[in-house]
Structure 1
């Protein structure tokens, strides 16, 4: 279907009388221009506009080391703030439950085509609202309540959707947790196989929120085949690295791949599911109508933008730098005395125990926050501690790499983090000096 170009002024056609959202006469930007959002918000709701500006200042001033966060491009933000937010579009392209979807169908087809081409998948569904929604849809397509599922134990790095009793997964399914070798911190595939043979799960989940090494998808596929189980890859964290060619792809091995479109992929907050063609119908029905209603078409369009960006040589170079930065930062943190899990990283994320510097994970997060360094707390394997793990810290390099930082800045970041843990005076000013040199949105 051909789409008529927008008027040369950039304004949408106007057929209605002036509304409360209109700018007063006299040359102010027309709020019906899709990219006039900030100005329109300032006029209509200055209180909320101040909140948005405060968050922008926080993102510019603080050091963003949360492994699951990144800075989207202005093009992604433009799609998120576009008129596609107005459209109700239950169903799929060509088979909607609402009229007037001919144009938004184009956006979804673009996103699907770009996802399948980028990852070499036979089928993709770009409608899940989040990574958790994607996992829920995978379970809904393949499992029934009460089925046994083998996944990484929560204390070892598993996600809430991998069996937490506070989550639908732990309430609806019987989860068995596998973990890592207590000495190396690496996944113990012999133990995974033994648990699979003992419990005969209907599905095995391969994925973690804090495992810094590449999963061995082939080994998991072999174990799943041995017990006739589905293999679900929860690739929310590494999928951006897969897109850039610096991490192995789960697509050739897994029955279903669940992912997010933010994190390293640098798109809008949302989910993505990929599978072979024979599972396409089941997966699509599991997303809609089983687990959610209408797609968020502005987010779907923003996913299409991000997937297009991820197919470029520039993005591949970006992911190479993300990994190089993470390895450099892990080495610097180790030199400063932190215990880095697995001795390093293959990915964008690092987990570490700050106990050698006299603090645990929660205290480390508080002290870092006071210095303008934003990171997370996570479970870190510790065989010599009760329960086999401690509360450590998790940090990542995706956002700072988007800002343009490279290996020399990783040394500065490690030194600032150590200074924050010591509560050295002046650390916050030094953080602001560093971030001032690398602004995400100048």
Structure 2
């Protein structure tokens, strides 16, 4: 970063500080990960300099002979990896990708059925504070109060009653396998377009560690970071039947020129995800999450749905007599980075909820094995107890122990160790 350091030492210093923070801390936010050095390099190329409105072979700008090949590579790799008929790699991020779905299939005021945000869904699945809930009629399903799992009977009852034009499955805090065939059957019964939002589990799907929505969902929406270990971008995939509607919704419906440096990095990440090492990583993400869940449960933590099938654990801290926000901030001081999160049927407010959400993609990318999950659970337990007691000395001791483990498992893609 010699040029950045010379031009803007303040930003250079902050970047360096973030590099060190990512190296030293145990990152357990489920939506975060480490990308490879190759993905990082691709995002910093001269492709940043290009404008490319349109699609390969159909651009509104000249000089696209290299850009067309980059985007075509990304498209072809996405289609092959996920087994889909069509892929659009231009959405800027997950929320605009989902907005494109609305533009492709709905008119303002139409009904969309999605998982409620407090139950684990996403803002863009028709939740009220989102544009998708303001411009469209959002109807929400939830999870069974006893099991913490998606209530498919409720999904079907709501679909038959409300007749949505689009049904979303997937979310941001769903620790169990998504039953794509069951959702597809419900969507067919009411004539709705089924959209599988696999932003969190895309890497697990690509690596064979979670069932695929291909062949069940009409449209698949995903970010390209999280478990997929790509840059901050998104993709929409679909059957050939919906290809034109999806492409027109992305451009010119919502966006101008694509971010070509991001497209290149997506292509790199998709190539990496096609190899055997990635399949081993995806399986280990799930193995680590299950091992961590078992260790936390043994220490009296209340896991929503009783555990996990994927990369994510949602923990209700009510029985620990500590709010999620207080616990998350204490864990951050201990070098364990999580986010506070609402749990199903939470009685606390969203900005001060009862739970925390943790995940294993980042630690798995560092090569940390399941055998270390007992130590991770013990640190979480010790820190939560210390936070409740106001014991900052224990928090500082955990921080030192975390740093020792991080030193033993250097993070990929970082220039510091």
TM-score band, normalised by the shorter chain?
Answer: over 0.9
What is the CA–CA distance in structure 1 between the aligned matches of 2:215 and 2:9, rounded to whole Å?
50
Query: Aligned residue for 2:331?
Result: 368
| Alignment partner of 1:431 is 2:394 | no
Residues 77-108 of structure 1 show CA distances to partners (whole Å, capped at 9, x for unaligned) of: 00001110111111111111111111011110
Partner of 1:197: 160
What are the within-5 Å matches in structure 2 for residues 10-49 of structure 1? 38-49=1-12
Q: Distance in 1 between matches of 2:340 and 2:214?
A: 30
Larger relative contact order, structure 1 or 2 (CA cutoff 8 Å, min sep 6): 2
Matching of residue 54 in structure 1 with residue 17 in structure 2: yes
| 1:328 Cα deviation after fit | 0.2
- Match 2:303 to one of 333, 337, 340: 340
Which residue is 2:389 aligned to?
none
Q: Could you tell me how far 1:259 is from its partner in structure 2? A: 0.3
Residue 357 of structure 1: how far off its partner (Å): 2.3
Contact 1:212 1:346 in 2 (8 A): yes
The answer to whether the 8 Å contact 2:340/2:353 transfers is no
2: distance between equivalents of 1:154 and 1:391? 15
* Counterpart check, 1:114 vs 2:77: yes
Instruction: Give the 3-state SS of the residue equivalent to 1:430 in structure 2.
Output: helix
Q: Which residue of 1 aligns with 2:226?
A: 263
Contact 1:338 1:355 (8 Å CA) reproduced: no
Query: How far apart are 1:355 and its partner, in Å?
Result: 2.4
Q: Tell me, what secondary structure is at the counterpart of 1:422?
A: helix
| Displacement over 3 Å in runs of 4+ | none
> Aligned partners of 2:90, 2:354: CA distance in 1, in Å?
34
Mapping 1:280-291, distance limit 5 Å: 280-291=243-254
Q: CA deviation at 1:386?
A: 8.0
Tell me whether 345-354 or 43-52 shows the greater mean CA deviation: 43-52
Consecutive unaligned residues in structure 2, runs of 5 or more: 387-393
Residues in 2 aligned to 1:180 and 1:357: alpha-carbon distance in whole angstroms = 23
| Structural mapping, 1:237-252, within 5 Å | 237-252=200-215
Deviates more, 1:340-349 or 1:43-52: 43-52
Deviations, residues 393-426 of structure 1 (Å, cap 9, x unaligned): 1110000000010112111111111121123241
Matched-pair contact (CA < 8 Å) for 1:238–1:264? yes
User: CA shift at 1:280, angstroms?
Assistant: 0.8
Q: Which residue of 2 aligns with 1:163?
A: 126
Matched, 1:179 2:142: yes
